[in-house]
Amino acid sequence: MKIRLLSRKALAITAAVALVPIAAIGFSAGAANASSALCGSGYSYLKSTPMMYSGRHHGTLYVYHKSSTNCAVLYRNGGYGWASITLKRGTTTVGRDQGYYNDHAGPIKYDAYKCTDVYGVVSYGGHNYKGNLDTGPCKG
């Protein structure tokens, strides 16, 4: 068996590419822990969705769970700007937090046992980036 050694340039490129996901996970974990703290003690991670466009991460919508309550928080990347969380059951809006924030909208707490859609929007440069999650006992 022949072992091939990588050049220093190839090794540097390989190392840089390998570190990219680690950096992304580090941010997500930090924001996820901060979001959980905003909800209060005892909340655990339920689900999340990133808001991406052209390979850029503009924000993340998180949902946490504790007993019979869910809690939604939207973190935006890039500092001060528009962020919005809307909770809907069918076509009825049952909760909303929106405005200009430094880093997050929410938290909004709601009944974990009711089918609730959670919508998030962050705006950058006149464009809206959206994400949504379904939570609760939704039936298809």
Could you list the beta-strand ranges (E) of the chain. 44-53, 56-66, 69-76, 81-89, 92-101, 104-111, 116-124, 127-135
Domain ranges of the chain: 8-135
pLDDT of residue 34: 59
Asked if residue 51 lies in contact with residue 130, where contact means CB atoms within 8 angstroms, the answer is yes
Class of domain 8-135: mainly beta
Query: Which pLDDT tens digits describe the chain residue by residue (140 residues)?
Result: 333 333 433 333 333 333 333 233 333 555 566 556 889 999 999 999 998 877 888 899 999 999 999 999 999 888 889 999 999 998 999 999 999 999 899 999 999 989 899 999 998 877 788 888 877 667 55
